[in-house]
Structure formats: structure tokens, C-alpha cells
Amino acid sequence: MAETQTPVNALLVVDMQVDFITGSLAVPDGPSVIDPVKEIIKLPFHARYASKDWHPRGHISFASTHPGKALFELTTIHPPQHLAIANGQNAQWIAEHGLEQVLWPDHCIQGTLGAQLVDPLLEDQFDAIMLKGTDPGVESYSAFKDPWGLLISNLEGLLREKGVTDLYIVGVAGDYCVKESAIDAAKACAWKTWVVREGVRSVSTEGKEWDILKSAGVGIIDTISELKAR
């Protein structure tokens, strides 16, 4: 007899923080995503997780940290030497691992109002909160890890421990932290990864992220009604 697997559904709510909704790095139409996300959180998931962008002042991703550079300009950043060395890498590896970085307005500074979850979302609605971008020299869009793999969160471990079969992702920004988190989630190959479009808003309104997500093996669910019907 064929075995049917009972789904274990988990939710990841990405960076639903004041600065991304109404603050210094607000996404277009930001406030309109609050109600859909609120509604999705109430659905019967086995576990709910949230990520928060949580930068120290002077973070490497801030334009203000790079005198002479303009907002939204691109610059190249390299892995911090002490972290690379702690991970067994050398100077050559550091030199070869430069990354293009968009320079953002100051945002989500640890302990400030802009870094709080947007009202009415509350931390106690979640089983755990992943803080990212906490190292001054490391940018991390993904809630799983930074692009160099120097700082890895416990999210993958938590999801594996729960035996999650389906991970649903919502939040902001669709073309940065939602996208990178979903791509990493799909790479883990331990569950099916879905992004629920009605619960996502992006920095750019071009919508390029959706094809990228599909190519990465992420499932796209357009509406909450579709999600409920599953």
C-alpha cells in the first residue's frame, strides 16, 4: 500500500518591520500587505517563524557608511577578515569573494522603532525569530545564512527538527529578503517551498523575482484563497 505523508506546514514571515512598511526603506504599497500577512499567520500552521533585519549602526549595507557614495549605488564588499579566518578561509579567498552590494538608507537599526515588527504583528505570535544582518560587515538577505556562508541561522535546523514538509513564505521585500530566503529554503531540499504572492510586496514593481523563484524550484501561490484550499 502506498504511504501517504501527512503534511507538516510551517510559515516564515520575512522582515515585516516598520522601516520596510512605512519607514526609511518602505516598499511601494507597504501597508497593504499587513492585513494579508495577519490573515495568513492565523491559518493552522504547525510552526510559525519570523525574521527581522537587525543592523548595528554603521552597517556595511548603509550608504551613510561609505562617504562619497550615493543612496542605491552599487559597491563591492568583501568578507570580514576575522570571520573568514574563523571559517578556515585565507586572504586569497577573501579577495575572490567580493559581492555587489546595493547601498541602502539606514534601516532596521537594532533597538529602534523602525526595527520593530509592524503593528499589529507581535513577536509572541512566532515560535522563533531569526535576526539577520547583525554583524557590521556582513549583509544577509536570507533568513538562513549570509551569501558567504559565514553566519548561519538555526532556521534550517528548526524546520528539520519539526519534520516540516511544506514551508510557506510571505513578507518583504519580495525581491530581496523573501527571494533569497526562498531560494535557500528550496536548496535545503528537505521540504517543498512556497511563496504566497498576496502576502508579499517588493522594492521594485517590475516583478522579475517571480520567474527567478520559479526557476529555483519555489512554488508560487497567488492568493490566500488558494492557500486555504490546499
Tell me the catalytic residues: 15, 132, 177
CB of 215 to ligand VGL, least distance (A): 19
- What lies within 8 Å, CB to CB, of 207 at 6+ separation is none
Is residue 195 within 8 A of residue 182, CB to CB? The reply is yes
CA terminus-to-terminus distance, the chain: 24
Task: Give least dist CB 148 to ligand VGL, A.
Answer: 16
Binding part of the chain for ligand VGL, among 39-47, 150-158, 172-180, 188-196 by CB under 6 A, reads 172-180
Nearer to ligand VGL by C-beta: 36 or 174? Answer: 174
167 binds ligand VGL (CB under 6 A): no
Nearest to residue 8, comparing CAs of 228, 224, 195, 160? 160
Residue 54: name the closest of 112, 159, 133, 144 by CA. 133
Give 105 or 219: the residue with its C-beta nearer to ligand VGL: 105
CB of 140 to ligand VGL, least distance (A): 9
Q: Using CB under 5 A, which residues numbered 117 to 146 contact Zn ion?
A: 133
* Residue pair 144/179 in contact by the 8 Å Cβ criterion: no
Residue 215: count of CB within 10 angstroms of its CB: 9
Q: Which residues ranging from 78 to 107 are in contact with ligand VGL (CB under 6 A)? A: 104
Q: Which is nearer to ligand VGL, 30 or 36 (CB)?
A: 30
